[in-house]
């Protein structure tokens, strides 16, 4: 097992997940219930399953698409989502 890769992956995923909507959803669920361990187990299981799907799909996709094209596509996608986030009008539910 490549522990450097494990630690690098942990660090990147940990930083990417901090403050995102998944963490906020777990925060809200735990604030509204008495069984915080259930919320932890549910959210941790969901992250494990989505990570498994990403790893399996990544393995399959790289057989047909080069990693450079995947990085380029992901970069363009994140830029577009960022621009949409900045310039899209706020929904009425989000206005203060």
pLDDT digits (tens, 9 = 90+) for 1-14: 899 999 999 998 88
CA distance 47 to 52: 8
> What are 16's two structure tokens?
């990417």
User: Closest Cα partner for 72 from 57, 80, 49?
Assistant: 80
Confidence of residue 96 (pLDDT cuts 50, 70, 90): very low
**CA torsion through residues 22, 28, 29, 34, sign:** positive
Answer whether residue 92 shows pLDDT above 80.
no
- Looking at every residue in the chain, the average pLDDT score rounds to 86
Dihedral, CA of residue 58, residue 16, residue 18 and residue 82, to nearest 10: -110
- pTM comes to 0.62
Confidence of residue 91 (pLDDT cuts 50, 70, 90): low
């Amino acid at each position: 097992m490549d522990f450097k890769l494990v630690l690098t992956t942990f660090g990147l995923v940990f930083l990417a997940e901090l403050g995102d909507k998944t963490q906020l959803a777990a925060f809200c669920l735990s604030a509204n219930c008495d069984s915080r361990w259930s919320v932890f187990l549910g959210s941790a299981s969901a992250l494990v399953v989505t990570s498994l799907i990403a790893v399996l799909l990544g393995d399959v996709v790289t057989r047909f698409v080069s990693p450079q094209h995947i990085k380029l596509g992901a970069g363009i996608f994140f830029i577009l989502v960022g621009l949409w986030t900045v310039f899209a009008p706020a929904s009425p539910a989000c206005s203060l």
